[in-house]
Structure 1
């Protein structure tokens, strides 16, 4: 038998998808709309550049493993339809969520009540409970990663972006210790590096709930350092009182039980689903949309202005200012933290949404 016969043969198949318009872009990947040539069905294809991912392939392999474990198991979890690779790229084909991001859709509504927030949180928590039951911790829950499947009013809400998710083996448990996630939604134990697991998702649910009811996050501060200190102390208030006057006591209690510093004292996903905030039919009927939209737009404008000032100051410090501004994408990003086993290549990048992760 020749030595070549024992070598595994690479299976080559003709491409079954045709890519279309770009839906989003990161530092090493681009998400494109694609259509299956045989069926005519549309999907989203995450196209990952292998050369830009060199040394971090495990991150994509992990994302695939997570999606394979949970795909098709819950209506509120993004489905991995297919995955394959070419010489230059890796492709992850998933559901095409055309309904937009959670908060953008809320801001386009004509009215928005606490009962609407309850439905959104209940759907998200139901999916989180499913993930936890299947040994998955998401680690990057935030409104930007909650997408609607279709523009329809009764569309499913999907948890997306499993790039930071991890499979947790309960029998051989090892606590995750890497600092990762989106700063404003990260639990205290992530910053402390004392080990973290499923409870970090419940903390994020608390932040999202607070955000959905008022339009700003509980730990929003002028700098990441101040924000981190506030998170470590769980330093938040239901203020100004005018924005919370029409929010139920059950909602505040739910948030308090999610934003508990000690992870072992935090509610589990199953316990959270049974909380009166999500199970009670009695809700305040006051329209929250005017305040929520105003606060959200004000914060978005403020943060955009701060980012612009930081970019200008950075250019000034580097002696680049010459009367004309040309800001490269990488110059607009702030330092990030390393992901598990990822090598620091000295290039700091900030992905869309501002989560902490080297890409």
Structure 2
């Protein structure tokens, strides 16, 4: 399999790989360094054997990244792509600043205006995607990364593996069931045609999470969580966790967690919501420092409750792993296929890449 119609050319490999940064169902991500410049990148590696019959997944990710990655400062960039005898490689911008939520938890303080500025950045980037007829389909805190560890680092939206480009505004619907259960919209779970509003539902869940440290539909089982999402059964409780959150913020969330996709705010409308407008003029979440004038609008520090909830909910890796397996079994049953055993999946082959095919 090749990425181009032309006969592959051979040239010396320009990158060397380092430590593993993460692993998923279909790919492994490693550090990569350009041999001549020494610049660090993230290298997403796909095993060719696993991708047989799924080539479109990688090609689609490349297509979308090429389309959008240079058009907005808060979208991760594709730098290069190539293949070897065993693997497919995507060279991506390396976000060294870590995940958003961990950065928040390591801060000395965190206020509602900080959350608003972060959400404004997400909405601005998603508005650009939607203007390009691209749906991300997997917006969640784990896919929000800081470019660097600096205080003024840009926040980046990463992982376009599930993103899709709509044919046009005249055909604005998809049907594939995908995403992360806690951030999936009702129409996806109900197997209904869907479009850009699924990203806005996810932003509503992210906003809720950024304000209190747990998701709006968190339940003890995947089945209960799915039923809660389908019914939009959420509340701003326990009250003590929401005491420092404004009614305007809650109204913003309500405008996104609407059962009817047509009633949800669009990304552009969200940018004009009073909750985001009142914390202007900053249009991007460039830092989490305290602005005294903005702090007066929402004086309570949200960090103590967020830290406590992250330990009992989002920080519980075992619980998240069990829920992921439950979700996989649930969708396998619905789709009538056997659940996939992660241990049976071939991961990318470790190789030194003396040469590559382009």
Task: Give the structure-2-normalised TM-score.
Answer: 0.84
User: Is 1:335 aligned with 2:329?
Assistant: yes
Which structure 2 residue ranges, 5 or more long, are not aligned? 280-293, 344-358
The 3 A distance-change label for structure 1 pair 346 and 301 is closer
Residue of structure 2 equivalent to 1:299? 313
Deviation at 1:10, TM superposition (A): 2.2
Of 25, 39, 47, 1:41 maps to: 39
Task: For 1:201 and 1:332, locate their aligned partners in 2 and report how far apart those are by CA, in whole Å.
Answer: 23
Q: CA RMSD in A?
A: 2.4
Count of residues in Structure 1 that have an aligned counterpart in Structure 2: 321
Residue of structure 2 equivalent to 1:9? 7
Task: For 1:225 and 1:127, locate their aligned partners in 2 and report how far apart those are by CA, in whole Å.
Answer: 32
The 3 A distance-change label for structure 1 pair 305 and 89 is closer
Residue of structure 1 equivalent to 2:91? 93
Task: For 2:64 and 2:321, locate their aligned partners in 1 and report how far apart those are by CA, in whole Å.
Answer: 34
User: Is 1:75 aligned with 2:69?
Assistant: no
Instruction: Encode CA deviations 1:125-182: one digit per residue, 9 max, x unaligned.
Output: 1110010011100000000000000001110010000011000122551521111100
Which structure 1 residue ranges, 5 or more long, are not aligned? 1-6, 311-329, 351-359
Counting only pairs closer than 5 Å after superposition, residues 208-227 of structure 1 correspond to structure 2 as 208-227=206-225
Where in structure 1 do 4 or more consecutive aligned residues deviate above 4 Å?
305-308, 330-334, 342-346
Task: For 2:170 and 2:84, locate their aligned partners in 1 and report how far apart those are by CA, in whole Å.
Answer: 35
Residue of structure 2 equivalent to 1:314? none
Task: For 1:305 and 1:78, locate their aligned partners in 2 and report how far apart those are by CA, in whole Å.
Answer: 29
User: Is 1:156 aligned with 2:154?
Assistant: yes
Residue of structure 1 equivalent to 2:272? 274
Instruction: Encode CA deviations 1:85-118: one digit per residue, 9 max, x unaligned.
Output: 1111110001100000111111111110011111
Q: Name the structure, 1 or 2, with higher relative contact order (CA <8 Å, separation 6+).
A: 2
Question: Contact 1:55–1:343 at 8 Å: present in 2 too?
Answer: no
Residue of structure 2 equivalent to 1:259? 257
Residue of structure 2 equivalent to 1:323? none
SS at match of 1:52: helix
Residue of structure 1 equivalent to 2:285? none
Task: For 2:336 and 2:125, locate their aligned partners in 1 and report how far apart those are by CA, in whole Å.
Answer: 32
The 3 A distance-change label for structure 1 pair 31 and 121 is same
